[in-house]
Amino acid sequence: MAPPLTRVLHALDRFHAAHPWDHNAHFHPWVLRQLPGRTGSALDVGCGSGDLARLLATRADRVHGVDADPAITARARELTPAAAPVTYSVADAPGGLPDESYDVITCVAVLHHLPFTEALEAFRDRLAPGGRLVIVGVCRERTPGDHLLGVASVPLNIVMALLKNRGRPAPRPVSMTARTSPRT
């Protein structure tokens, strides 16, 4: 018989497979509101399955997503229409970021996994003059209180998955034609 923690983790995996919800996606509309109406190029650091990269493509002429996980990057490629101006690469940030200039750089819930100073310097070096750096940060768990908050977030994520999916077995797909008009 599996230890209790293992059983709980497997149960959570099964629940999230049936009711997926990406808490990072909650911030995507906010990220888009921080951007100009149109932009030339965008870099999404820690792009995961490419949801934000595809949304950025509704506002940017070209988008590049970078993630360290080859499997999730392959999934991003599968989910992105061939005609979309989006490319992906597998690389560790900050050292493996493309050596190009971007009008927009986004980084959602990734910075706490990176060496802070080096990451910000890499973003600065790749940001075009007048460009926008949009970061949604999460702090690194260091103290017992931090870890306790992390455990407390587990049931909250379950509730949000149920609420956001409204009983559906999967979240709504991210559309390339989503309404993402900026606030003026």
For the chain, the domains span 23-136, 141-167
- What pLDDT is stored for residue 2 in this prediction? 75
- What pLDDT is stored for residue 8 in this prediction? 80
The per-residue pLDDT string of the chain (184 residues; one tens digit each, 9 = 90 and over) reads 678 878 887 887 787 677 666 778 888 999 999 998 899 999 999 999 999 999 999 999 999 999 999 999 999 999 999 999 999 999 999 999 999 999 999 999 999 889 999 999 999 999 999 999 999 987 677 788 877 877 777 777 777 777 776 655 554 444 444 434 333 3
- What pLDDT is stored for residue 54 in this prediction? 96
Residues 6+ positions from 101 with CB-CB distance below 8 Å:
41, 126, 127, 128, 131
- What pLDDT is stored for residue 178 in this prediction? 42
- What pLDDT is stored for residue 166 in this prediction? 64
**CATH architecture of the region 23-136:** 3-Layer(aba) Sandwich (3.40)
- What pLDDT is stored for residue 157 in this prediction? 72
- What pLDDT is stored for residue 13 in this prediction? 76
